[in-house]
Structure 1
Amino acid sequence: MEIVGTSRQGTSSRNGDASIDIEGLVKSIREKLDKLSCLSTECCIYKVPNRLRKINEGAYTPLRVSIGPLHHGKEGLEDMEEHKLRYFNDFMQRSGKSLEELVKIMEEMEKEIRDCYAETTNLKSEIFLEIILVDAAFIVELIIKHNFRWIVTQNDRIFGKPLMGDDVRYDLLLLENQLPLFVLQYLFEMSNVNWNINDDETMSDYFIRLSLHWLKREDIIQELPVLKYINPPKVKHFLDLLRSCLIPTKDWQASVPEEKSPSVSQASVLEKKSQASIPKEKSLAKVKQIIDYIKRHLIPRQSLQQSKSKFDIPSATELHEAGVKFKVSSSKNLFDIKFSGNILEIPHTRIIDPTECLLRNIIAYEQCHYNDKFFADYSMIMDYLINTSKDVELLVQAKIIENWLGDNNDVSNLFNGLSKGVNIISDDYYFTELHKELNDFCEIPSHKWKATLRQNYCNTPWRVLSIIVAAILLGLTFMQSLCSLASCHK
């Protein structure tokens, strides 16, 4: 390569017939580097990864309303923009704040809000702040009107139309349709709402409580959690709130008020104190909690990769043929799946049209934000148990699955497809112990032939009676033969 010229304007490099303006290239790269923004630790709202989106794009796309900048202006969502402005006007009147005051508040929060989005937006500040302000006020009004229906007007497009209300609820739980919760809480504090607030809770906690009432449905949240267990100050947005309500409660949540789980030494101190102050049976329960905590969090668990064949557990039908009985659990937590004796207890699950959408968005959020992939683990265990419509039928008969889709094949297809494109950290797989217990049970040969005997020959009272009669007749025949042989020898 020949160097041609070294003037003050820059150095040019010639390679054959092509020349490079080195000074221009350096300037271009430097300008891009200067424009780089610092990555924020507050990032919590993401675009769905393409490998997940391409499997079912509709699961991540709002049907009725766009929230935030990622879907703003999308075709088919224009109708709700006018209604959002109506809700914004209601909020402005309720708060007593002028439009200028609200815009100024948003301006002061702009950087903090932008930091919450993983995808940098090129929207001008004026457009971005308008979207955030109108959408946030819309959500705050939505929560208020849901909890205090007497303020809803008769011509309200959302609460006057049940189907519309359901669609909006599910749209507000999409990963790409989120607003930072601190924005909603800040506006809520200006709304002059003070009904039924407890003395020991803040306005922010009260907003979360109202939001949970808005979320409470059999297919979303079956029962409201205790606020301190979901750690309100750390909730990022509505989808994060939903996940916080559904994931397994920590081993120590029921008895230890601290946010962080105790270490082994701390657990020992707590154990000694509890033995001195509570009855014996409660002390034993505490010991069990310590053991469970150590087993789950401190003892290294076998990974799926280390023993892959051991974790290819049989389907529900195959487990049934091996003698496993299915029972609906009294627990409302999806993850509280337990195996004891020959009984597999699984919490009740209602499967409706939006179920796949909810699960996919929580899974996508976990893939982007959390190390603990609880819902990916849940989708995997259900994928193992359900291969065909016959597996679904067994779980429906046990009242574990409530199928509102109509066809059992639709349910099996749902669970068989959830794990596609999902990365699972095998060493942290939540159901490792359950897999091992089920495999150990199925490897005992006697379990299968006993189950076959019960299912094929002792499954009705008449069959049991006929087997007993046949056994008696066989015994009498055998005795008669012995008597005949004895008489012949005489």
Structure 2
Amino acid sequence: MATGAADTSQEKVLQCEETIIDVTDVRDPKWAPECCIYKVPKRLSKVKEEPYTPKLISIGPVHHSKDELKDMQMVKECYFKAFFLRTCKGQKEFACIIEKNKDKICNCYAPEISQRIENENFVKMVLLDSIFIIELFMRSNREEDENDYILSKPWLKDGIMQDLILLENQLPFFILDKLYQHYTSNPTFLELACNYFFPNKEMRIEKQVKHFTDLQRNFFVRPTQKPGNPIEHRHSATKLDMAGLIFQKGGGEEKNRHLLHVEIQKGNKLLEIFPCFNCSWLLHCLPCLKKIPFLESMQTRLVIPHFVVDNKTEDLFRNLMALEQCHYPNEAYICNYILLLDFLINSKDDVELLVEEGIIVNSLGSNKAVADMVNKLGHEIVEKNSYYYNVAEDLNKYYRNWWNKNMESLKTVYFRDIWRGTATVVGIIVLLVTVMNFLRPFVFKHI
């Protein structure tokens, strides 16, 4: 009996030893201080994968081996050859710069990317991609060449530019700058990059650029407000409009650069004491009254710079938001802006209102398409804080005001348009005349 029990115990030990997991070669994944290039989190890519995937050209290690992007490899090599035919420097000089900075370059990539990098091909890949980008930027800074394979075809030029801003399709900015400086320093590589992505626009970059996605984020001037708590669900643009809020396009700023400067301009302080002075329903019905300064100054406004929506908007903002989710969780002002816009836009009617006010420039053609795009941009976005907390709280306070809520019902039922408003005013006059006629025998009987 004892011998049999011992054999059974020994078999169990052997079975356990066979199933032990070997973890001797496993390295603890760590985020290096230089890390700034990430794989888009699956929770974001599952919402929509296409905006994060290059369609024409691969840059860097993430999409390097994809067969569908190999057609542009020959173009890269042609640009590479043209660059070294023009310069008196050899390939080895540039390769040595990359070799010296190889560890720093690898540290710029998230652990799941850097662990898959093959060292023997890495230097060649970085060299080819870097020289291609430098040559492309230098050519775009000169007069257009009708024979240039990329720049002579607007659709191809635009497609390459779109691929170069994708988060997964990046090289660290510092290595591009070092290689460029080895060739020339006038203009600077930052000036060259800004001229390529933002032609005819003045750019002031106040912080070190990490890559081209980061450069795109730096294009937008951050909000002036201090961040507060995450904003909760707020009311749509049409509801706020019915409650008397005036939507006004921010003016005087450079196109799209000050996009994030959303603010509330409160009306005269008398409005806080006497909310009945809110005559938005009357201004809505009779727009000609807006020329009266007193009535105009009494209204509360939400000032929003105009937002151009076209077929490139979604790709750009999805990659900027993915970068913020991974790298700037405490300063996610692009995410904050989109979530605020998401609360204002629930349907095509909200988009229509903002289009009529000049706040949204709709190049997609369909207001419903814009509403769907904005609503989906906010999916799976985690908001740690918000630069628009105070704006959202003011909007909520405005909508909760009892007079403003009554004004919403008044506008909806009786003053929706000039005809219904006119009929309402005529009805009130008829009612007053009828009451006066009824009371006349009693009031004036002794006169």
Normalised TM-score (structure 2):
0.81
With over 3 angstroms needed to count, the CA separation of the structure-2 counterparts of 1:86 and 1:315, relative to structure 1, is same
Cα distance between partner residues in 1 of 2:407 and 2:96: 74
> Is the contact between residue 260 and residue 337 of structure 2 (CA under 8 Å) also seen in structure 1?
yes
1:420 corresponds to = 379
Cα distance between partner residues in 2 of 1:20 and 1:416: 53
> What residue ranges of structure 1 are gaps of 5+ in the alignment?
3-12, 198-205, 252-291, 305-310
- 1:15-414 matches, cutoff 5 A: 15-18=12-15, 20=17, 29-32=23-26, 39-118=31-110, 119-149=113-143, 152-192=144-184, 194=186, 197=187, 206-216=188-198, 223-227=201-205, 230-231=206-207, 234-248=208-222, 251=224, 296=226, 301-302=228-229, 304=231, 311-330=232-251, 331=253, 332-341=257-266, 342-370=300-328, 371-414=330-373
For residues 332-358 of structure 1, the C-alpha deviation after alignment (integer angstroms, 9 at most, x for no partner) is 422211122321111111111121111
How much has 1:395 moved relative to structure 2?
0.8
Cα distance between partner residues in 2 of 1:41 and 1:372: 17
> Is the contact between residue 94 and residue 192 of structure 1 (CA under 8 Å) also seen in structure 2?
no
For residues 302-343 of structure 1, the C-alpha deviation after alignment (integer angstroms, 9 at most, x for no partner) is 555xxxxxx321111111111112111124422211122321
With over 3 angstroms needed to count, the CA separation of the structure-2 counterparts of 1:89 and 1:174, relative to structure 1, is same
How much has 1:100 moved relative to structure 2?
2.3
How much has 1:139 moved relative to structure 2?
0.8
Cα distance between partner residues in 2 of 1:314 and 1:461: 25
> Is the contact between residue 264 and residue 391 of structure 2 (CA under 8 Å) also seen in structure 1?
yes
> Is the contact between residue 242 and residue 411 of structure 2 (CA under 8 Å) also seen in structure 1?
no
What SS does the corresponding residue of 1:224 show, helix, strand or coil? coil
> What residue ranges of structure 2 are gaps of 5+ in the alignment?
4-9, 267-299
With over 3 angstroms needed to count, the CA separation of the structure-2 counterparts of 1:130 and 1:461, relative to structure 1, is same
How much has 1:226 moved relative to structure 2?
2.1
> Is the contact between residue 230 and residue 383 of structure 2 (CA under 8 Å) also seen in structure 1?
no
With over 3 angstroms needed to count, the CA separation of the structure-2 counterparts of 1:245 and 1:18, relative to structure 1, is same
For residues 378-410 of structure 1, the C-alpha deviation after alignment (integer angstroms, 9 at most, x for no partner) is 221111111111111111111111111111111
> Is the contact between residue 366 and residue 373 of structure 1 (CA under 8 Å) also seen in structure 2?
yes
1:439 corresponds to = 396
2:442 corresponds to = 485
With over 3 angstroms needed to count, the CA separation of the structure-2 counterparts of 1:487 and 1:69, relative to structure 1, is closer
Cα distance between partner residues in 2 of 1:186 and 1:362: 25
What SS does the corresponding residue of 1:175 show, helix, strand or coil? coil
Cα distance between partner residues in 2 of 1:372 and 1:396: 29
With over 3 angstroms needed to count, the CA separation of the structure-2 counterparts of 1:63 and 1:472, relative to structure 1, is same
Determine which of 445, 448, 465 is the counterpart of 2:405. Answer: 448
Cα distance between partner residues in 2 of 1:336 and 1:113: 35
Cα distance between partner residues in 2 of 1:315 and 1:460: 20
1:260 corresponds to = none
> Is the contact between residue 247 and residue 333 of structure 1 (CA under 8 Å) also seen in structure 2?
yes
For residues 435-462 of structure 1, the C-alpha deviation after alignment (integer angstroms, 9 at most, x for no partner) is 1100111111212333554566556667
How much has 1:184 moved relative to structure 2?
1.1
For residues 114-165 of structure 1, the C-alpha deviation after alignment (integer angstroms, 9 at most, x for no partner) is 111112244433311111011111111111111212xx54321211100011
How much has 1:70 moved relative to structure 2?
0.7
- Tell me which amino acid in the other structure corresponds to 1:419: G
Cα distance between partner residues in 2 of 1:30 and 1:17: 20
Cα distance between partner residues in 1 of 2:265 and 2:307: 20
Cα distance between partner residues in 1 of 2:444 and 2:18: 120
What SS does the corresponding residue of 1:176 show, helix, strand or coil? coil
1:308 corresponds to = none
What SS does the corresponding residue of 1:48 show, helix, strand or coil? coil
- Tell me which amino acid in the other structure corresponds to 2:179: L
Cα distance between partner residues in 1 of 2:42 and 2:351: 30
> Is the contact between residue 229 and residue 386 of structure 2 (CA under 8 Å) also seen in structure 1?
no
With over 3 angstroms needed to count, the CA separation of the structure-2 counterparts of 1:409 and 1:463, relative to structure 1, is closer
> Is the contact between residue 259 and residue 305 of structure 2 (CA under 8 Å) also seen in structure 1?
yes
> Is the contact between residue 91 and residue 191 of structure 1 (CA under 8 Å) also seen in structure 2?
no
For residues 87-128 of structure 1, the C-alpha deviation after alignment (integer angstroms, 9 at most, x for no partner) is 112222333211222222222221121111112244433311
2:274 corresponds to = none
How much has 1:74 moved relative to structure 2?
0.8
What SS does the corresponding residue of 2:17 show, helix, strand or coil? strand
| 182-191 or 351-360: bigger deviation | 182-191
Q: State, as a whole percentage, how many aligned pairs show the same letter.
A: 34
For residues 420-445 of structure 1, the C-alpha deviation after alignment (integer angstroms, 9 at most, x for no partner) is 222211xx222110111001111112
For residues 350-385 of structure 1, the C-alpha deviation after alignment (integer angstroms, 9 at most, x for no partner) is 111121111111111111111322222122111111
Cα distance between partner residues in 2 of 1:460 and 1:362: 41
With over 3 angstroms needed to count, the CA separation of the structure-2 counterparts of 1:20 and 1:482, relative to structure 1, is closer
What SS does the corresponding residue of 2:247 show, helix, strand or coil? strand
> Is the contact between residue 14 and residue 20 of structure 1 (CA under 8 Å) also seen in structure 2?
no
Cα distance between partner residues in 2 of 1:62 and 1:373: 24
Cα distance between partner residues in 1 of 2:317 and 2:153: 25
Normalised TM-score (structure 1):
0.74
Cα distance between partner residues in 1 of 2:196 and 2:38: 24
What SS does the corresponding residue of 2:320 show, helix, strand or coil? helix
